[in-house]
Chains A and B, each alone.
Chain A
Amino acid sequence: MSPRADIALPRLLAGMPAHGAMGLAEHRASSGELPYTTRRERRGAGALIDLVEQAGLRGRGGAAFPVARKLRAVTAAGGRTPLGKRPIVLANAAEGEPASAKDRLLLESLPHLVLDGGVLAARAVGADELIVCVEASAGAALQSVTRALSERERAGGDGLRIGIQTVPEGYVSGQESALVNLCNGGPAKPTLTPPMPFQRGVRRRPTLINNAETLAHLTLIARHGPHWFRALGTPADPGSALLTLSGAVSHPGVYEIEHGAPLQSLIEAAGGTTSPIRAVLLGGYGGTWLDGASIPELLLSNDRLACDGASLGAGVIVLLSAEACPVAEVTRATRWLAEQSSGQCGPCVNGLDAIAGALEEVLAGQPSAGVGKRIAHWSTLAKGRGACRHPDGVVSFVASALEVFAEELADHARHGPCDACVGPHVLPLPTPIELAAAA
C-alpha cells in the first residue's frame, strides 16, 4: 500500500488537469504503480475484495449496491463455469442521466483512474477482458479513453484484453442488462432477469458491471486501503462521491463531496444560488423532488436522505429556481422519460404515456376529472411491472413532484399556463420536448 495519502478532499479529482487528460506517466507518478500486477500478486488479487468490503464501497451508478458483494458473486460464478468462461468486466460510463456529467468528466480528465479500477476489478474476479462502455455521442471521452488505452499498450499492457463499446444515446441504454444485450450484439435495451449479468452476461460469461466512478474509488482503495477510504464520510456511506450540481447555481458542474456533507456547503462551493430556490431534485430523473425550504437541513448521504424518501442516485442534484415553472419542467421531463422507454413492456409504455398525458392536460389547464387519482392509479400499474426499473423511477419522480408542487399544479389545473411556462428550460433533455401549452 502507498505511503499515507492526504485523507482530505479532493480524492478522485486530486490533480485533475485543467485541460485534457492526465497521461499515464503523470498518473503513475502521482499514484504509484498498480498493485496486483506481478504474477504472484495477481494470484492474491482476490484479497482486494476484502479491502473493498472493509471499505464499504457502494456502487455509484445509482443503485448503491455493495460492491464487494457483486465482486464475490462474479468470482463465485466464474469458479463454477467450465474452462473458457472466465468472467468479463464492463466499466459503465454510459451516462444516460442528462443532468449527470461525472462519468464523462472522469473519462475525459482522469481515464487511467477508471482504467486502473477496471483492471484491478478484473484481476480480483479472475476476468480476462475489460470493456469500457462509453456513450457514442461523448466524443471527448471516447477520444480520451482511446488515447489512454494506447498509452497503456505502449507501456506493456495490463495482461488482459481491453476494448471500447460505444453505447447509443438513451436513458435506459446504460442499464446493466441493456449493456450486456448490446455487447452481445443486440440492441441497448434491457432484458429479462434472471439470469442476472453476474451469472450469465456477455457471451454467456459471468459479467461484472461497475460504474466508472465506482472503479475510480476502487483504484484508490487498492492504493490507500479501507481505513483511508473510511476516514471521510459516514459509517453507512463512507468515502467521497462525485455529484453533478446544476440549475440555479453560479457555477454548475461536477463536485467531489464527502458523504454526509450538508447540501448547503456544496451550494456554497459552487458559488451560491442565483435566485431563490423552489425545490431541489435529488438523484436524477428517476429520483425525488424535495421542497427548497428543506435544503438547509439536507445532508448528502443516502442513509440520511432516505428519511425524506430520497437518495443520491447517480449523484445528480438540480436546483429549481422559484422563477421557473415546475409544472412545465416536470411535464416536459415526464414526457421525455415516457419516450425514453425501450418500448418492450406494456405497463411501462402505456403507463408512462398516460401519466405524461395527464400532466400535459394539467399544464394546459384542461385536466379531465380526477386526474390526480388517475395518475396515482397508472403509477401503481406501471411500478414494478417492467423488465427494468425505469417505470419505477419515473413514478417516484412524478409522485414527489405531485406532492412538492401541489399548489402550482392546482393553479395550472384551474388557470392553464403561467408566465413562467415559456421561460428558459431548467431540466436538460437531449431530445427537445415542446409542449403545446408552452407555445
Chain B
Amino acid sequence: MSLRLKVNPIACEAHGMCAEVLPELIALDDWGYPILDERPITPELVDHAKRAAQACPTFALLIERDTPPQREE
C-alpha cells in the first residue's frame, strides 16, 4: 500500500503552506501553485505529508492510497 500526494487544482488557491511544511516533496511553480512529487511517500515523510494536507486552507492537498497517477477519460 502506497500513499501519494495529489492536489485538487480547482480548490488550490496557491497559498503555498504545503510547500513550507513539506519542501522535500512540494515545490512551487512560477505562480505559487504546487508541483508535487507524485512518487510514493517515503515512511519518514508520511507524518509531514499529513501535516501539509491539514495545513492547506482550502483542503486542496490530498493524500491518496495506491492508485498511481493516471488520466482516464
Q: Which A positions have Cβ atoms within 8 angstroms of B? A: 63, 65, 176, 191-192, 196, 344-348, 350, 354, 378, 381, 384-387, 389
Contacts and interface: CB of A to CB of B under 8 A. Distances in A.
Interface stretch (B8-16, B17-25, B39-47, B49-57): B8-16
A217 B71 CA distance: 26
Interface in B26-72: 29-33, 35, 71-72
Nearest to A346: B33
A192 B30 contact: no
A381 B36 CA distance: 11
DSSP class of A's interface residues: helix, strand, loop or mixed?
loop
Contacts of A384: 71
Nearest to B29: A381
Contact of A345 (B12, B30, B32): B12
B10 A387 contact: yes
A192 B73 contact: no
Contacts of A385: 9, 33, 35
B57 to A, nearest CB: 15
Contacts of B72: 196
21 contacts: A65-B73, A176-B73, A191-B10, A192-B9, A192-B10, A192-B11, A196-B72, A344-B9, A346-B9, A346-B12, A346-B14, A346-B33, A347-B9, A350-B30, A381-B29, A381-B30, A381-B35, A385-B9, A386-B9, A387-B9, A389-B71
A384 B29 CA distance: 14
Most chain B C-beta atoms within 10 Å of own C-beta, residue among A191, A354, A385: A385
A387 B6 CA distance: 12
Interface of B: 8-14, 29-33, 35, 71-73
Given A191-B10, A346-B31, 6 more contacts: A63-B73, A346-B12, A346-B13, A346-B32, A347-B9, A350-B33
Contacts of A344: 9-10
Contact of A347 (B8, B13, B33): B33
Contacts of A381: 29-30, 35
A72 to B, nearest CB: 14
A347 B10 contact: no
A192 B8 contact: yes
Which A-B residue pairs are the 3 nearest by beta carbons? A345-B9, A346-B33, A350-B31
A37 B36 CA distance: 51
A345 B10 contact: yes
B24 to A, nearest CB: 20
A235 to B, nearest CB: 23
A123 B13 CA distance: 43
Nearest to B62: A192
A221 to B, nearest CB: 21
A207 B4 CA distance: 28
Contacts of A63: 73
B47 to A, nearest CB: 26
A191 B73 CA distance: 13
